[in-house]
Structure 1
C-alpha cells in the first residue's frame, strides 16, 4: 500500500494532507523519515506520524439498534447518520447492509467488508428479513386471510411491473403483524400494505437471516458482532 493511502486510512488526514505531512518530515517508516508518498508499506513496517504509531483498522462487523430519526446514508441530510451512533475509528467507513427508512427502527448490520455485505444483500441468497408491523386500522377476519394469501403469492406494487417475491405474513393482533421478506425493494413493507389498502404507522426490523437484534441494545446502541455471527453468513 502507498504510504499516503496508509496515512489517510489510519488518521484523519486526506491523501493531500498526508503528502504535506511527509514533506514536513512528520512521518517515519521503521524509524526513518520518509517524504515520498509512493513508498510502499506493509504489515511488517512500523509507521508513525508525529511520534504516534499507526496501524490499519481491520474489517469491522457491527449490530446497531437503529432509532427513528437516524438515516442509513453516507451523505449528510436532515437527520443524524447511522454511523455517527457508532464509537469506532473511521466509523464513517461502515456501510449499512440493507438500509432502513428514517422512521423505521430495529436491526441494522454495518460493515466495511464489501464481500460479506454482498453475501447478505445479493438476491440470489434469498436472505430472510423479519419485520414487526403496526397498522393504522385493524386487519382481521376474511380480510386478514386474503392479505396472507396475497402476500404469499406476491403483490404488484405501484410503479412495478413484477410482483413481489412470496412473503410470509402473520397477524399477531388486529393491528400488529409479523412479515418475513426475502427481498428489499424501496419502502417495500409500506407499499405492500398500501397495495391492500392499509397504512403502516410503525415498522421495526427484528432479524436478518440468522442474526436477531440483541434485546440488551436500547435504540441508538450498538455492539460488534461475535465471530460466530459473522461466520453465519460465510
Structure 2
C-alpha cells in the first residue's frame, strides 16, 4: 500500500494534506523520515506521526483515560524519564500514544489510544477542543489577568496572540483556566507573560470529557462508547 493511502486511512486526510505532513518531516517509517507518499508500506512497518503510532481502522483499537502522575513523559521514548506507556500492563502497550501531551511535571487527564484518526480529531487545531487546567501560582493572581487572557496573550517567540481563554479564580493562588488550543508549554507561558509563575499544573478536562474522580493517579480505565464518540 502507498504511504499516502495509509495516512488517508489512519487520519482521514486527503492526499495533499498527507503531502504536507511528509514535507514537514513529521512522518517516519521504521525510524527514517519519509518524504514521498508513493513509498510502499505494509503491516510490518512502524509508521509514526510525531512519534505517535498510526494504525488503520479495522484493527484492534483501544481508547483509555489515564490519570497521569508527575515524572512521566507522553512520548513513547525519552532518555531521562519513563513513558506513560509503561503504566499500561497490556500486550503491545508500546503501540499506544497520547492524544494530546502533558509536560513531565504536569498531572491529570491524558487520552491514550492506538487510533491515529481519533487522536487527530482530539488534537486538530481546527476542532478548537477546550482543555481545562487547575493551576497553582507562585504569586496572587492580578485583578486584570482574566481580562488579559480573554483578549489573548502574545507569547514570547510567537507572532499571533493566543485564542481567548477563560479564567476562573478559586483562590488568589489557585485558578481554573480554559484554553482552546495547545501551544508548546502554553499555560506556563501565559502566566509568565503576565509576571506570574506556575508552581503546579493539573488537567481536569478535554472537551466534554472530565477526568474520572474515582481514578487514582497513575491508573487508567477504558473509555466507554459514549466517551469515545465525544470526539
Name the residue aligned to 2:188: 190
Q: Specify the alignment match of 2:119 in structure 1.
A: 117
**Pairs within 5 Å for 1:60-139:** 60-139=62-141
CA offset at residue 74 of structure 1? 1.5
1:161 and 2:159 equivalent? yes
Runs of 4+ in 1 over 2 A off after TM superposition: none
Structure 2 length-normalised TM: 0.74
Deviations for 1:165-204, whole angstroms, at most 9, x for unmatched residues?
1100111100000000110000000000000000000000
**Aligned partners of 1:85, 1:192: CA distance in 2, in Å?**
30
Higher Cα Rg, which structure: 1
Runs of at least 5 residues in structure 1 that lack an aligned partner in the other structure: 2-14, 16-37, 39-55
Whole-angstrom CA distance in 2 between matches of 1:220 and 1:169: 28
Q: Deviations over 1:199-223 (max 9, x none)?
A: 0000000010111111111110000
> Where in structure 2 are there 5+ consecutive unaligned residues?
2-29, 31-41, 43-57
Match of residue 6 from structure 1: none
Provide the secondary structure at the position in 2 that maps to 1:172: strand
Q: TM-score, normalised by structure 1?
A: 0.73
Provide, for residues 3-53 of structure 1, a one-character-per-residue CA deviation record: whole Å limited to 9, x for no partner: xxxxxxxxxxxx9xxxxxxxxxxxxxxxxxxxxxx9xxxxxxxxxxxxxxx
Partner of 1:149: 147
